């Protein structure tokens, strides 16, 4: 998803130089609306937030809401586009899956709560329509891990094949307990794996107040648990790419 800010209606009078401040003012007003909406949507369900309340908090005329966005769903969609773009910036420089998940899972409760409210109370067909750059980056990192894993397995298989050939020539049998590697793919779709990884990280951010006492984890800090969850999710995501034997 991109980080688009709605463009104002074209001016019909004045020179280009004169219209530039108007364009800047319009973009600033649209940004104020999105900032106000984001803050309100973090506090409670979008269904309980009115457009007039958003305009009031943003300090803009109510008519600008309709001029730039039209509907609350359009505002909500733009709020998530901005959040997605920021998330993409956060994970863009991550070199491995564990780092990316750690960055996405840093204090995710407000975002996870807003996301849950939007799913429960909004028309998601108008809010979530595009691929998310942050989730796409997680998928790319998973695919990179799988590729490294496959390369290492191939190298190991080549080395073991040479050893087995030597043993056969010497009249020995295959090493006991060894499971042949068929080389078949895991069958897991990396898009599903990346989505599940993000779900686990955000889910813990949202449900930790329930899960910690429910699992008897009261003797540990939430940050410590979150780090372990991230490491566990990263390990499972990588393991999902192992060839089926």
With a cut of 60, say whether residue 242 has pLDDT above it: yes
As a whole number, the mean pLDDT across the chain is 81
The 10s digit of each residue's pLDDT in 37-95 is 999 999 999 999 999 999 999 999 999 999 999 999 999 999 999 988 888 888 888 88
CB 230 within 8 A of CB 224: no
Please state which of the ranges 98-102, 115-119, 182-186, 219-223 shows the lowest mean pLDDT. Answer: 182-186
- What pLDDT was estimated at residue 94? 87
Q: How confident is the model at residue 244 (pLDDT cuts 50, 70, 90)?
A: low
CATH of 16-70, one of 3.30.420.40, 3.50.50.60, 1.10.10.60, 1.10.3470.10: 1.10.10.60
109 Cβ neighbours under 8 A, 6+ residues apart: 205, 206, 208
Residue whose structure tokens are 């999710």: 233
Domain ranges (residues) in the chain: 16-70, 93-151+183-245
The mean per-residue pLDDT over the stretch 112-126 comes to 89
What sign results for the dihedral spanned by CA atoms 139, 2, 54, 68?
negative
With a cut of 50, say whether residue 20 has pLDDT above it: no
Distance CA 198, CA 10 (A): 40
- What pLDDT was estimated at residue 177? 36
Distances (CA, A) of 108 to 115, 178, 202, 205, 206: 10, 43, 6, 5, 8
Q: How confident is the model at residue 130 (pLDDT cuts 50, 70, 90)?
A: confident
145 Cβ neighbours under 8 A, 6+ residues apart: 96, 97, 237, 238, 241
Q: How confident is the model at residue 182 (pLDDT cuts 50, 70, 90)?
A: very low
- What pLDDT was estimated at residue 41? 93
With a cut of 70, say whether residue 237 has pLDDT above it: yes
- What pLDDT was estimated at residue 87? 85
With a cut of 70, say whether residue 9 has pLDDT above it: no
The mean per-residue pLDDT over the stretch 4-8 comes to 53
With a cut of 70, say whether residue 3 has pLDDT above it: no
Distance CA 105, CA 204 (A): 9
Q: What percent of the chain has pLDDT over 90?
A: 47
Distance CA 160, CA 139 (A): 31
SS3 track for the chain: CCCCCCCCCCCCCCCHHHHHHHHHHHHHHHHHHHHHHHHHHHHCCHHHCCHHHHHHHHCCCHHHHHHHCCCHHHHHHHHHHHHHHHHHHHHHCCCCHHHHHHHHCCCCHHHHHHHHHHHHHCCHHHHCCCCCHHHHHHHHHHHHHHHHHHHHHHHHHHHHHHHHHHHHHCCCCCCCCCCCCCCECCCCCHHHHHHHHHHHHHHHHHHHHHHHHHCCCCCCCHHHHHHHHHHHHHHHHHHCCCCEC
């Amino acid at each position: 998803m991109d980080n688009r800010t709605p463009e104002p209606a074209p001016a019909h009078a004045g020179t280009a130089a004169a219209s530039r401040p108007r364009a800047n003012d319009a973009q600033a007003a649209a940004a104020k609306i999105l900032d106000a909406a984001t803050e309100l949507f973090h506090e409670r369900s979008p269904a309980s937030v009115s457009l007039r309340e958003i305009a009031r908090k943003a300090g803009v005329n109510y008519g600008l809401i309709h001029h730039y966005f039209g509907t609350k769903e359009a505002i909500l969609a733009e709020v998530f586009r901005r959040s997605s773009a920021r998330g993409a910036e956060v994970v863009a420089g991550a070199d491995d899956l564990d780092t990316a998940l750690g960055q996405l899972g840093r204090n995710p409760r407000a975002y996870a709560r807003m996301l849950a409210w939007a799913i429960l109370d909004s028309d998601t067909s108008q809010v979530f329509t595009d691929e998310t750059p942050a989730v796409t980056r997680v998928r790319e990192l998973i695919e990179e891990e799988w590729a490294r894993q496959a390369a290492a397995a191939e190298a190991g298989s080549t080395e073991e094949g040479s050893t087995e050939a030597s043993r056969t020539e010497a009249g020995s049998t295959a090493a006991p307990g060894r499971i042949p590697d068929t080389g078949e793919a895991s069958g897991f779709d990396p898009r599903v794996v990346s989505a599940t990884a993000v779900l686990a990280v955000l889910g813990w951010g949202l449900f930790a107040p329930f899960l910690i006492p429910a699992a008897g984890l009261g003797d540990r800090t939430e940050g410590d648990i979150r780090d372990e969850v991230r490491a566990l999710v990263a390990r499972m995501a990588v393991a999902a790419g192992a060839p089926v034997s």
